[in-house]
Structure 1
Amino acid sequence: MPIKRIIEGLNEFHDNYFSIHRELFEQLSHGQNPEVLFITCSDSRIDPCLITQSPPGELFVIRNVGNIIPAYGTLNSGEGAGIEYSIQTLGIKEVVVCGHSHCGAMKGLLQIGNLAQQMPLVYDWLRHYGEPTRRLVLDNYKDYSSDKLLKIAIEQNVLTQIENLETYPIIRSRLHSGQLTLHAWIYEIETGEVFAYDASVGKFKILENRPFPVPNLLIRLPSE
């Protein structure tokens, strides 16, 4: 039974990991000071702390179906509240939007008509907030194979969320002052590799020893 295994895991955590790192958890009980806002999918195969090898307290994580960030003003979303809190109150200076291979949300987005009856809430979520990605992919890459279309949709969805992030006042302000950096990543489940968007070449490249920050695409300084 899965819940029994989870309880066994809780006991294992308390008796071993927690005991060894008790001092860390004592420090965390007085407040958090994460270094990165990590926005990713709810998919059970994605574990931000595991794939980045980050200890408790380093990542402020926002997760939902399809790692989607509604544009500012679209609705009073938990995503928006989390973004605002992490930047304004916690002072986070690095934001990662991380999609992943074989994303079920992107598969559903490309065949969205099939979701309306079976999963109306998922349908509404993707129809409202995934439409820019769906339209871009189907209008420009309709002759590609289904596997290639899915890969493109996953990549374009991450870039769309970066653009949506830039609509938030706190994000725009910190980008303008150089106090914030955005990163667009894709985690490949089958290889364990992470690909980051390199704007200088306009594509995702394997992430090894240096980051590829996404340049601020929306804010432009006045011409002199």
Structure 2
Amino acid sequence: MFPMERILHGVMRFRMEVVPRRLGLYRELANGQRPQALFIACADSRVAPELITQADPGELFTCRNAGNIVPPYGQATGGVSAAIEYAVMALGVRDIVVCGHSDCGAMKGILHPEALAGMPTVRTWLNHAEVARRVVEANGPTVDKLQALVEENVLAQLDHLRTHPSVAAHLAAGDMTLHGWVYSLATSEVRAFDAEQHRFVPLGSTAVPAVSARRRPIAARRGDVRG
């Protein structure tokens, strides 16, 4: 079966088998949406937010792009900024997740820019992760820099998220929570950044960790631990 034939077969199976089992839900969603969270994830084909969270249609407002990037407010007026503003102001979302993942091609490109030759748009886009690269280069481990960069990038994008007026206003009011996650492709484990411990911990090991003000790069903490 050719790739598009497989996709078309999936569309027909969805309509004929899946929808009838939950017809009430789909009819309700036809009249509007009330998502529980904004989920900003990488566009990597191996990352499926609804599958990872086992969310029903209508529960996540998703925004996906190369490297789960959030440009600082005003630097790039585009789809990501518009999605954030709409989710917060129009849909009333009060939880936002930025989710990175292992083996991220975007992060590999930052570590090895020669791999991005001939892709000027990608290189420009990934400049929004430059702060994460510099933190890892200055403070990170001598091995597994990719994993360190994935984690630092999540925190960097959360910092950028705070520059968006719609987000900043609700954070100041105390009625919005930010979450930083990293998903493992190999194990399906999700680790969340715990601001109190200042590290990523397995989701479910404690109460749902939330991100508050950052104190220092987690890469620097790794350096302290290594001694």
TM-score by length of 2: 0.91
Matches within 5 A, 1:161-176: 161-176=157-172
How many residue pairs get aligned? The number is 213
Corresponding residue of 1:144? 142
Gap regions ≥5 residues in structure 1 = 219-224
In structure 2, C-alpha distance between the alignment counterparts of 1:186 and 1:140, rounded to whole Å: 20
Which secondary structure does the structure 2 equivalent of 1:44 belong to?
coil
- In the alignment, residue 176 of structure 2 is paired with which amino acid? L
Query: Which position in structure 2 is the counterpart of 1:210?
Result: 207
Kindly provide the amino acid, as one letter, of the partner of residue 103 in structure 2: H
Deviation at 1:217, TM superposition (A): 4.8
Q: What RMSD over aligned residues (CA atoms) do the two structures have, in Å?
A: 1.3
Alignment of 1:116-127 (within 5 A): 117-126=117-126
**Counterpart of 1:222?**
none
1:193 to 179, 189, 196: 189
3-state SS, counterpart of residue 34 of structure 1: coil
Query: What percentage of aligned pairs have identical amino acids?
Result: 43
The answer to whether the aligner puts 1:38 opposite 2:39 as a matched pair is yes
The letter of the residue matching 1:20 is R
Q: Does 1:92 align with 2:88?
A: no
1:169 and 1:122 mapped to 2: Cα distance?
26
Secondary structure of the residue that 1:118 maps to in structure 2? Answer: coil
Task: Tell me the CA shift for residue 210 of structure 1.
Answer: 2.4
Tell me by how many angstroms 1:216 deviates.
4.1
- C-alpha displacement at 1:111, in angstroms? 1.1
The aligned counterpart of 1:178 is 174
Letter in 2 for 1:214: V
Quote the offset at 1:5 in angstroms: 0.4
**Closer, same or farther: CA 217–140 of 1 in aligned 2, 3 Å:** closer
Counterpart secondary structure, 1:72: coil
1:83 match: 84
Contact 1:195/1:204 (CA < 8 Å) preserved in 2? Answer: yes
Deviation track 1:100-138 (CA, whole Å, cap 9, x = no partner) reads: 0110100110111442x3322211211x21211111111
Distance 2:184 2:207 in 1: 18
Q: Say if 1:155 and 1:186, in contact at 8 Å, map to a contact too.
A: yes
Amino acid at match of 2:175: Q
Is the contact made by 1:175 and 1:216 (CA closer than 8 Å) also made in structure 2? no
Match of 2:225 in 1: none
2:195–2:214 CA contact under 8 A, matched in 1: no
Larger deviation, residues 131-140 vs 52-61:
131-140
**Structure 1 residue 53 displacement after superposition:** 0.3
CA distance in 2, matches of 1:179, 1:217: 18
Mapped pair 1:133 → 2:129: no
| Structure 2, unaligned runs of 5 or more | 216-227
